[in-house]
Amino acid sequence: MDNYQTQLTPEAPVKEPGKKRSAWLGLLIDSIETILLALVLFLGINAISSRVIVENISMKPTLQPGELLLVNKLAFKLGSPDHGDIVVFHYQGNPNEDYIKRLIGLPGDVVHISEGVVYINDFALNEPYIAAPPTYEGTWTVPDGKYFVLGDNRNNSSDSHQWGFVSMEDMVGEAIFIYWPLDRIQSLNIPDLVQAAQ
């Protein structure tokens, strides 16, 4: 008896030359879209925030050298600075250099420092965040459009008590968050920290 095989040998699929090209084209388009989306997100995030590194000891113990902060660049475009805000600004002696300090006096405020206590409009500030009471004294009246800033490390800080006021035009934004190192992650937006005269 003869053996017959009934299975048919499958024919090799015919490759369509356009399919390989369209797969590569689709991958290229997806890659370009992903890169453009990442670029738009990057530019958008940079337009409303910036990241800064703390480089000196003038804000100790609140901020330590090496910490990375998130700064809200829209804070003073959409709102007004307030007593106690931690602000980043261009230093008047060198506009390419940014400083970070605590905002103490608003336009029109009278800042008085005496016997280790800071007063705003004759109201003593409650300042549990400073390294030590200031050993210097003085009185400053804050002009319109200007701000009086001090470092939390009062006796080791170059700030308004030495070189004067900060202009609104020089304000970069408000530091709102420590995001590095991980064990120091915290918000810097502490309400009612400075009990100043309103």
Burial pattern 3-29, b for ≥16 Cβ within 10 A else e, equals eeeeeeeeeeeeeeeeeeeeeeeeeee
Q: Which residues pair with 51 in a beta bridge?
A: 70
Active site residues: 58, 101
Q: Which residues 6+ apart lie within 8 Å of 116 measured at CB?
A: 133, 134, 135
